[in-house]
């Protein structure tokens, strides 16, 4: 998280070295204004074509879906919320072979599901097995309406200092 924040700040301040403090603030303000305008336009365009989720989320879901067919899913309750997943094939970055998924609690042993609130490959396998829609397990922050609302605010031009 700290690395991501510092990379964002570095991207905003890039090209602003050796400036006075007020010039640095003004440069940052204009850079952020451009970023908000550009990202707001992208989010609005995706909303207008009917996208429900961000493109980044859809790429993650597509990547995680590749592994669904390489797992055995065992259901342990009638409400279809408690599963054990057995990975049959080696998955890059995988530490273990068996994972417990508790859909009603938003938990998976891999930790990915509760950390990012995005269905991991184990949750996708559980949903596929139980014929549940994985979209209901995605946090609201990943919906395009939420993304667009972040960029809805507009930056106003800064007036001259003497005014």
Q: What is the pLDDT of residues 41-75, one digit of tens each?
A: 888 999 999 999 988 899 999 999 988 998 999 98
Q: How far apart are CA 123 and CA 59, in angstroms?
A: 16
The predicted model scores a pTM of: 0.73
Segment 91-113 shows an average pLDDT of 86
Taking each continuous run of H as one helix and of E as one strand, the counts in the chain are 6, 4
Q: What is the pLDDT of residues 132-145, one digit of tens each?
A: 999 999 999 889 99
Write down the mean pLDDT value for the chain: 84
């Amino acid at each position: 998280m700290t690395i991501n924040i510092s990379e964002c700040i570095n991207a905003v301040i890039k090209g602003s070295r050796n400036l006075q403090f007020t010039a640095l603030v003004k440069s940052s303000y204009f850079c952020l204004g451009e970023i908000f305008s550009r990202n707001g336009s992208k989010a609005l365009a995706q909303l207008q074509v009917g996208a429900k989720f961000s493109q980044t989320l859809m790429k993650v879901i597509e990547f995680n879906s590749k592994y669904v067919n390489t797992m055995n899913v065992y259901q342990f309750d009638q409400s279809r919320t408690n599963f054990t997943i057995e990975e049959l094939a080696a998955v890059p970055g995988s530490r273990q072979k068996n994972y417990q998924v508790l859909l009603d609690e938003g938990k998976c042993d891999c930790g990915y599901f509760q950390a990012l609130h995005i269905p991991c490959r184990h949750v996708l396998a559980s949903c596929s097995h139980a014929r549940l829609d994985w979209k209901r397990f995605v946090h609201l922050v990943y919906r395009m309406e939420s993304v667009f609302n972040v960029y809805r605010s507009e930056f106003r031009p800064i007036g001259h200092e003497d005014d």
